[in-house]
Amino acid sequence: MMKILKLELVAFGSFTDKVLDFSVEQPSLHLIYGANEAGKSTLRRAFTHLFFGIPERTADAYFHANDQLRIGAQLVNDNQEEFIFYRRKGRKNTLLDVNNKALDEDCLQAFLGNMTEAQFTALCCFDHERLRQGGEDLLNGGGNVGETLFEAGTGTLKVHEVLTALDKEKEDLFKARGTKPLLNKSIRVYKEACKRVQDNSLPANQWSEQAKKLDDAQQQHIQLSQRLQIIRAEQHRFERIQRTRPRLQRHQELKTDLADLEHVILLPDNANAKRSEVQLGLLTAQNQEKQAIQDIEQLQNKIAAITIPETLLAQKMTIDDLRGRLGSHQKAARDLPGVRTEMRTVESEARALLQRLYPQFDLQDVSTKLAITNPQRESLKKWAEKAPALREKQHSFTKRFAELTEQLAQHNAALEALPQVPDLTVLKAALARACKQGTLEDIQLKDESEVRRLTEKAEMGLKQIGWTGSLETLEQTALPKMERIEHFERRFNEYEIDRQRIKERLLDARQRNERATQKINALSWAGEIPTEEALAKARQGREQHWKKIKPLALTAKGKAKNKEQANLSLFGTAEASPPLLDSDKKTLTFDDDEVSLPIKKKGGKGEINELYQVFEDAMLSVDDLSDRLRREASRVAEYSMLLAEQQGAQHEQEQQTKKWHTVEGLITHLQNEWESSWQPIGIKPWTAAEMRSWLNESLNLRQQASVLRERRQLLEERQHLIAALCEELTQAITPLKAFIKGTILTHLSDLIRQGEACATEVTNRQRQREHLLLEINTLHREQQRTQVIQQHANDALKEWQNEWEKVLMPLQLPADTKPETARNVLNDLDQVLNKMDKSNGLRRRVDLMLRDAELFRSDVARLAQKIAPELVNELAEEVVPTLSNRLNQSEKDLTRYEQLQQRLQVEQQRLAHARQQLQISQAHLQALLEQAHCADLTALEAAEQASSRKKERQRELIEVEQQLLEQGEGMSLADLAQAAAVVDIDQLPGQLESCKEHIKQLEEERFSIDQSIGELRTLLKQMDGNAIAAIAADDAQLALAEMQDLSTRYMQIHLAASVLRKSMERYREQNQGPVLKRASELFQRFTLNSFCGLKTDYMGNNDQPILVGLRTPDNLVIPTTGMSDGTRDQLYLALRLASIERYIEKNAQMPLLLDDILINFDDERSKETLSILGELCQKTQIFFLTHHPRLLELAKQTVPNEHLVIHQL
């Protein structure tokens, strides 16, 4: 357990050298009170920063500098080891000892139990916000037991929200039957891309060859995998046999043992204990029977030896009465001589005292000649008490009259010595006008300072805007209008927008051109693409060759054609079409079917043969291009589209480049126009936005210049006013120079103080004169009143003397007797009367004592005659003790007789019970023998041992069979035994090793084939030149990469939610019982028995247990959703404190920091909570922070004084 003995806030927040002493002899609740803004939040942060360091950015450095922040503490652990340290703000070496030397953080962690800051904050720090959040979590979670206990135990909040967010994010990523989640979309995109790749891939001979190699490699991979699967299965079979062989052997041994024990009768598990119990009961019953018989015989002998005197017992009341009167009788006999002596002494004292007062009288004369009534006695005392007061009053008023006469003479002399005071009207009026203006000189100094500040500010502003002239020049300079600047800014922005738009379009055109070029190149990789332009070019070449051989064709045909007809296009008109080539006949056939020229093979002699060969090649090229255009129409169309897109992009690029240069020229022209507009004021402008700010600053400077002029004018006016007031005050003070010290001052404030001091001095002189006059009048009136009272006192003293003579007459005393003397005579006379009364009382007592003694002796003689005649002649004082002793002995004998009779009945009952138990035990023993088929106890014990041995073998057999079934992977016991029987146990390790080697070799071969498969797949991807397939493959790879990322995120979320739920479930299983039991007790106390406890229940179709409260008095089940906000807060607090107690029992104890958690509790529930905290502080140190003084009163009423310590911030 770690405790904080002392906390030192050396320099932290608003605290300086603040020390809180927490060292007490007994465990106590430390209640820390402070009003708002007293520093409770700072103190709470100080605890955390003390243990785990002050953060880089802290809100507690507003009073002390960062490098001066210091927090110190003194800790102690269970071993009474103390640790004193300080914490400073910094990045390293922040833990210091008392000498400011760096300490290792492990020194502190040894006391903290390696607890992190997050754990400390969650487990040991608890405030009202966390309490409210905990109550809301109970509402949101519906009271789920796992979530509730986990939150309360770990201090983690919003667990239900975290789980809900994880589940929602997981569903947003993937659903088994969903289409909208991201991972489902990625899978669909990947499948579609793979299908496009498959549909758009073009076959080729080389590609087919490589594809065949890939198929062969994949077949080899499948074959190797199958062989690996077979060998691994064989290895697994050998391992299973090796694992189950020992237990199969043990199984066979157990079956053999059980076969040997087949004849043994199975007895109950407690047969041995039951037999021992029956034997013990039988022996006990026999012993009890024997002892009861002996006790009964002894008791009967003792009863027969007792004799009871009935006559003596019948006079018990009379004997008791005489025994009680005996003491009084003996005491009276002892006291009688003393009483007689005292009576004579009192009479002698009364007579002597009377002779000293009145020698002429005897005791018999007192009642007749000196009789005085009570009214006369009270009257004498009353007038005797008045005498001192009357004389004192006469004396004091005579003295007071003389004192007043002397004081009047002194005051009159002092009044004549005082001088006359001047008039203060002029001075007060001047002071009033001066004071009415306030502290003009201070205001003047402030105005001067303000004028200097405004001047410096204006000069600084001029420097900032780059103005070289004065402030007055700036005021007079014509500045451009804000609208013109905004106009230029708008035009600059428009041109800039146009330039950005052109730039974006130019970049877009470049990108489209590059993409089209890349796609064209991708199509070209699969072979040259025929185009309409290539076909037209080929036809043009064919036409040229035809022109060369046409004359030869016409000559051969024998028909002449005109020149116009020969110059017509052979292949571009509807009248002439290209000749058809007949490869079999080696001839050219024309539309008119009239000319047929033989086609000679290349290599023939003459120029005609060469012309024919060239024309033949041209014809074949045109036909091939035409056929390819038809066969590869899709590629041709795509190629045409890409070419068109490329040309369009190039054209767009050229157009946007021209627009770029145009806009650049417009911007240059606008910039020149912008600069020329600022030439009249002689500055080179910045950007329009900057110059707009410049113009605003200039306008502000103009306003500052106006304010500066007004302040300077106001300063001059105030200086004139101060001079006028100084002159007026000087003229008013001059006539009163006699009442001031030193010379007249010059400054206004000095003159005001001097004038006020002068007025005060004159006023004091006037008040002193008025005070003397008032006292003279008062003394005069008091002198007159004293004289009247003095006369009344003299009259009262004369009246008293007349009454005093009357009250002395019953005592026969002279008139000049003093009051004290009269009181003494009266007191002595009272003593005489008291002694006479005492003497008479003693005489009556002596007579009564003689009469009682005679009566006692007659009663004793009469009783002795009845029950003991032999004592009749004895003294009464001896007879009574003798009879009393005989009575006591008879009563003891009677009591013993009755006790023996009761014991005899008990022993007889015990004897009957013992005999009954003996019969029962014998019956039980016989039943056990019959159950085991045994004749005696020896055979029964052997049968019990055999039965126990058989049961043990059966239990072990079941366990072995269960283990074999678990390790047999679904195989029956017979199959496991048969599989193990066909394998030689000695060859089994070698066979396992051979399997492992074979598996290793096959895996290496499969790895090599996997590499070949990867290389072949890469090669096939490179050979596939179809652009659509390439794009689809890229899309598939992107989708696959996205699937991998989303799958990783899905698994992370799934594992996080699963781990969190399993952690909560494991925590619930480990702590539900003790935590809920303690929390139920605390919750009952928190709610003042409104709830009688907690329990787990199930609601609706939900299979998760929830926490419910039981409402008294009928145990009505209330879920957390049906509780009020305050009750949920108290439920969470009960769970939290119960979890903390559970944590303290299992781990190192840490201080608990509570910050105003009772804000929403009423007084009664607050008192109960404080009482519980007072109990909990016996287990761990608790700091309770509050700003409510009411809680201090409740704590004092609830928590014992020895367990409560209050600290004031």
3-state secondary structure 549-583: HHHHHHHHHCCCCCHHHHCCCCCCCCCCCCCEEEC
3-state secondary structure 411-423: HHHHHHHCCCCCC
Cis-peptide into 1113, omega within 30 deg: yes
The residue type found at 1152 is L
Identify the DSSP state of 1111.
E
Q: How far apart are CA 30 and CA 23, in angstroms?
A: 10
The pLDDT of residue 150 is: 60
Segment 460-512, tens digit of pLDDT: 877 777 777 777 777 777 777 888 888 888 888 888 888 888 888 888 888 88
Q: Do 980 and 241 touch, CB atoms closer than 8 A?
A: yes
Q: Do 904 and 296 touch, CB atoms closer than 8 A?
A: yes
Q: Do 1160 and 127 touch, CB atoms closer than 8 A?
A: no
At 760 the three-state DSSP class reads helix
Query: Which of 670, 673, 697, 705 is closest to 482 using CA atoms?
Result: 697
* Beta-bridge partner residues of 85: 73
Query: Which of 1139, 1037, 962, 847 is closest to 250 using CA atoms?
Result: 962
Q: How far apart are CA 850 and CA 861, in angstroms?
A: 18
Query: Which of 1108, 1124, 1105, 1128 is closest to 1116 using CA atoms?
Result: 1108
Query: Which of 635, 643, 668, 420 is closest to 512 using CA atoms?
Result: 643
The pLDDT of residue 72 is: 94
Query: Which of 142, 179, 145, 192 is closest to 164 using CA atoms?
Result: 142
Identify the DSSP state of 1150.
-
At 719 the three-state DSSP class reads helix
Q: How far apart are CA 1120 and CA 139, in angstroms?
A: 6
The residue type found at 355 is Q
Dig out the tokens for 340 from the structure: 């007689």
Q: For the range 414-423, what are the long-range contacts, defined as Cβ-Cβ under 8 Å and sequence gap of 24 or more?
A: 414/772, 415/769, 415/772, 415/773, 415/776, 418/765, 418/768, 418/769, 418/772, 419/765, 421/762, 421/765, 421/766, 421/769, 422/735, 422/736, 422/762
Q: How far apart are CA 954 and CA 952, in angstroms?
A: 5
The pLDDT of residue 73 is: 93
Q: How many CA atoms lie within 13 A of 1075 on its CB side?
A: 31
Q: How far apart are CA 1071 and CA 1141, in angstroms?
A: 11
Q: Do 1177 and 18 touch, CB atoms closer than 8 A?
A: no
Dig out the tokens for 740 from the structure: 């001031």
Residues of the chain with pLDDT under 70: 1, 135, 138-161, 176-177, 179, 197-208, 211, 438, 523-529, 532, 552-609, 627-637, 1020-1034, 1064-1065, 1067-1072, 1097-1104, 1113-1114
- What Cα–Cα distance (Å) separates residue 1008 from each residue in 219, 226, 889, 976? 14, 16, 121, 38
Q: How far apart are CA 763 and CA 755, in angstroms?
A: 12
Identify the DSSP state of 1102.
-
Label the pairing between strands 1182-1186 and 82-88: unpaired
Query: Which of 1086, 1206, 1192, 1200 is closest to 1137 using CA atoms?
Result: 1086
Identify the DSSP state of 144.
B
Dig out the tokens for 123 from the structure: 């487990």
At 364 the three-state DSSP class reads helix
b/e per residue 101-117 (b: at least 16 CB within 10 A): eeeeeeebeebbeebee
Segment 1007-1018, tens digit of pLDDT: 888 888 887 777
Q: How far apart are CA 994 and CA 614, in angstroms?
A: 75
| Phi then psi dihedrals of residue 1056, to 5 deg | -60, -50
Dig out the tokens for 756 from the structure: 């006020």
The residue type found at 795 is D
463 by Cβ neighbours in 10 Å (0-12 / 13-18 / 19+) ranks as exposed
Q: What is the DSSP string of 596-613?
A: EEEPPPTT-SSHHHHHHH
Q: How far apart are CA 651 and CA 103, in angstroms?
A: 75
Helix, strand, coil % in the chain, rounded to nearest 5: 70, 5, 20
- pTM for the model: 0.34
Q: Do 776 and 415 touch, CB atoms closer than 8 A?
A: yes
The pLDDT of residue 71 is: 93
Q: What is the DSSP string of 74-116?
A: EEE-TT--EEEEEEESSSS--EE-TTS-B--HHHHHHHHTS--
